[in-house]
Amino acid sequence: MIDIVSLSKNFGPRTLWSDVTTTVSKGEMLALVGPSGAGKSTLLNCIGLLDKPNSGEIRYAGKDITRFGRRDTRHFRREVLGYLFQNYALMENATITENLEIATKPKRSARGKANVVIAEALERVGLAGRGDEKIHYLSGGEQQRVALARLIVKEPALVLADEPTGALDHANATAVIDVLREMSDAGCAVIIATHDDRVRDRCDTVFAVNENSLVA
Ligand code: ADP
C-alpha cells in the first residue's frame, strides 16, 4: 500500500532521520515509536503531504507521492487519506453532524445516504443521537470520538494518527484503538505515532523512528 524508500529529513544542518525504509500493507497497523523529538510527527506529515522529505520516495499505487503537484495532493488527501490528531482538529463552533457531513463522500450525499452513514458512525463511537450538539461543549474524549466517527464516515484507505490517545483516559483510549483496529481489519492501512504501550501492543508492526529499525 505505502512503500517508504530511503527517506531522509533534515532541518538545516540537523538530520532528523535518514534512510528510513519500511512498508505498510493493506490491513496492517504500524506503530511509529521513539522518544519525543525523534521525528515521528514529521514522518507522518511527510506521508500526509504536509511536509516534504529531503530525499527518498513514498510510493502509493506505483507513484512517488512526494512529487505530487497541487492537484494530485488535493486528490490524495480527499480520496485516500484520513487523519487523526491529538487535538482532534474539529470545527469547534459547528455541530457533531456538521463535522461529519464534510467527510461524507459526494456520491453518498447525492444518494441521500449521508444521514444513515453518519448515524451509524455515531452509534459505533457511543454518541448515538447527539449529532446536534456543538463541539466546544464536548469533553476531550468525546471530541476524539467525533474525530473517529469522521474517519469511519470517510472510509480512507490510509489513516495517519498522531498520538491519538495522548490526552485520553483509559476508556476513551481503548475506544480509539478498537475503532482503528476494526478499520485496519477491514483493509485500511493505519500508521500511528505513539508513546502509549497499549496502542503499540495492538499494532502488527513497530517501527522505531530514531533507531530507524523494525522492532517487531
Ligand atoms: P516527535 O513527533 O517524534 O516528537 P517531531 O516530528 O514533532 O518529533 O519533531 C522532531 C524535531 O524536529 C523536533 O526537535 C522539532 O523541534 C523539530 N522540528 C519540527 N518541525 C520543524 C521545523 N519546521 N523547523 C525546524 N525544526 C523542526
Per-domain boundaries in the chain: 96-155
| Per-residue cell: 149 | 466517527
pLDDT at residue number 107: 63
CB 144 within 8 A of CB 179: no
What rounded mean pLDDT belongs to the chain?
Answer: 91
pLDDT higher than 60, residue 214: no
Amino acid code (one letter) for 50? L
**pLDDT value for 216:** 45
How sure is the predictor about 87, in pLDDT bands with cuts at 50, 70 and 90? confident
User: Does residue 34 line the site of ligand 1, with CB under 6 A?
Assistant: yes
Q: Taking 70 as the threshold, does the pLDDT of residue 2 lie above it?
A: yes
Q: What average pLDDT does the segment 60-78 reach?
A: 94
> Distance, CA 173 to ligand 1 centroid (Å)?
25
Q: Is the CB of 42 under 6 A from ligand 1?
A: yes
Which of 41, 192, 210, 211 has most ligand 1 atoms within 8 Å of CB, for mutation?
Answer: 41
Q: Give pTM, 2 decimals.
A: 0.92
Say if residue 36's pLDDT is above 70. Answer: yes
User: Are 33 and 215 spatial neighbours (Cβ–Cβ below 8 Å)?
Assistant: yes
16 C-beta closer than 6 A to ligand 1: yes
Going by CA atoms, what residue is nearest to atom 21 of ligand 1? 11
pLDDT digits (tens, 9 = 90+) for 92-150: 999 999 999 988 876 655 556 888 899 999 999 999 999 999 999 999 999 999 999 99
146-205 pLDDT per residue, tens: 999 999 999 999 999 999 998 888 988 999 999 999 999 999 999 999 999 999 999 999
Cell of 120: 451509524
What's the alpha-carbon Rg for the chain, to the nearest Å? 17
Q: What percent of the chain has pLDDT over 90?
A: 76
CA of 161 to the centre of ligand 1 (A): 16
